[in-house]
Amino acid sequence: MKNSLGILLVVLVAAACGDAQSAGAEGGGDGPPPTPVEVAIAYADTVVDAILATGQIEAIQAIELRPEVEGRIVSILVREGALVRSGTPLFKVDDAELQAQVARLEAQRDLAYQALSRTQDLIREGAAAQADLEEAEARARSTQADLDLSTVRLERTVVRAPFGGIVGARMVSLGDYVTSSRSLVTLQTINPQRAVFDVPERYAEALAEGQEVEFRVAAFPDRVFTGTVDFVDPVVRLPGRTISVKAVAENPDRSLQSGMFIEARLSTEMRPNAVVIPEDAVLPLQSQVFVWVIADGQATRREVELGVRTPGFVEIKSGVAEGEQVVVGGLERLFEGAPAMPTVVERRPGFESPAVEGGAPGAGAPGEGTPGEGALDGDMAGEETPGEETPQE
């Protein structure tokens, strides 16, 4: 009887231990519960490398007209601000003296050719020497040359537009005595115009004719103008060590005026399938940059190389593939291998998503090989720092 009671007691103790172990297993003894996080899907986009720079608008041709003949202004033939064609008369200088001079020289030329004709007749009759003929020919040519010179000076008493453009401010009035050093008026072309800006010499290899330039001017803040590079200065300018770049921009409505300040973006390279993620997924740590990626329900920290930046988004050159989930909310609660319960939030350019708490701002410097910050397609970053790279949708 005592043996039976002992065996029953051992069985009961063993069953109790088994129930305790089962209860411990069901209570989560294998690890902590999954951490709720918000994730965004890395997506592919077209990225354009670009350089940001500032500059100004310049006319392709611009001059201050001066008279070639001195005298008094007797007629002003154009108004300020007028659009003129090449060859249009603008000013008339008094030509009375030159007209008299031309008339005198015409008479002298006629006499010289008459004397030449008589000398030729005498030569045929043997009544004149060869030297007389040569002297008469030289005199005739000399008087003709003097007449031609005076005729040209007479024609130049009318100051004409050397090219088509818009007339600027007039600097003389009727009756002013002018010389070749006196400016009369400004004249400049208006269509097309040139966008001129300087970029640091470190971008010399990326510059080439035919590249597209987008720029804004303060007078039209919501309008983006475009141009095409037609000149890259082969000389690096000191002391700033910059390279001058000029781009031709169409200006049919005369919106672009010489001297306007511009903020330009020069496209240098396009990458059609770049990986882009929200910037708040980026976690800078000392000299490295990381992101948290959720794979198979677990968090893993990856070092990444950044490319172009734009407000809210950044290109990933390596470390994350298209379609992977990157953490944008709850980063501070993660550790390597932590179980995670992800909630996908929509993060794309132009999509208004709720604010995410706990996201680490991507304030780190761009990765190596990246010229600088950028803007999405259609955006123009307002920074003056050259070296922008731009993702486009």
Domain co-membership, 221 together with 143: no
Residue that the structure tokens 């490295």 belong to:
288
Token output for 273: 């399938």
Domain co-membership, 249 together with 224: yes
Q: Are 263 and 384 in contact (CB under 8 A)?
A: yes
Residue 195, in any domain of the structure? yes
Token output for 169: 């401010």
Of 156, 177, 208, the last residue of a domain is 156
Domain co-membership, 275 together with 318: yes
Domain co-membership, 84 together with 223: no
CATH code for position 106? 1.10.287
Domain co-membership, 365 together with 239: yes
Domain co-membership, 241 together with 380: yes
Q: pLDDT value at position 30?
A: 59
Of 110, 133, 156, the last residue of a domain is 156
Residue 14, in any domain of the structure? no
Which residues fall within 8 angstroms of residue 306, CB to CB, at 6 or more apart? Answer: 282, 289, 314, 315, 316, 317, 362, 364, 366, 367, 370
Integer angstrom CA distances of residue 304 from 290, 316, 347, 374: 6, 7, 19, 18
State how many domains the chain has: 3
Residue 7, in any domain of the structure? no
Residue 5, in any domain of the structure? no
Residue 25, in any domain of the structure? no
Integer angstrom CA distances of residue 365 from 48, 132, 309, 315, 368: 19, 91, 10, 13, 9
CATH code for position 175? 2.40.50.100
CATH code for position 381? 2.40.30.170
Q: pLDDT value at position 128?
A: 77
Domain co-membership, 213 together with 183: no
Domain co-membership, 109 together with 179: no
Mean pLDDT by 10 residues, the chain (393 residues): 43 43 44 85 85 92 93 93 93 93 93 90 82 88 93 93 93 92 93 93 88 91 92 91 94 92 87 88 88 91 87 88 90 87 80 35 33 39 39 38
Residue 15, in any domain of the structure? no
Q: pLDDT value at position 391?
A: 40
Domain that holds residue 73: 67-94+157-188
Q: Are 366 and 309 in contact (CB under 8 A)?
A: yes
Residue 306, in any domain of the structure? yes
Domain co-membership, 218 together with 74: no
Of 156, 180, 208, the last residue of a domain is 156
Domain co-membership, 387 together with 366: yes
Domain co-membership, 270 together with 332: yes
Token output for 268: 């240098």
Residue 318, in any domain of the structure? yes
Q: pLDDT value at position 226?
A: 93
- Fill in the amino acid letter for 362: G
Domain co-membership, 133 together with 196: no
**Continuous segment of H or E residues that includes residue 96:** helix 96-125
Q: pLDDT value at position 242?
A: 92
- ∠ Cα 231 308 246 (to 5°): 10
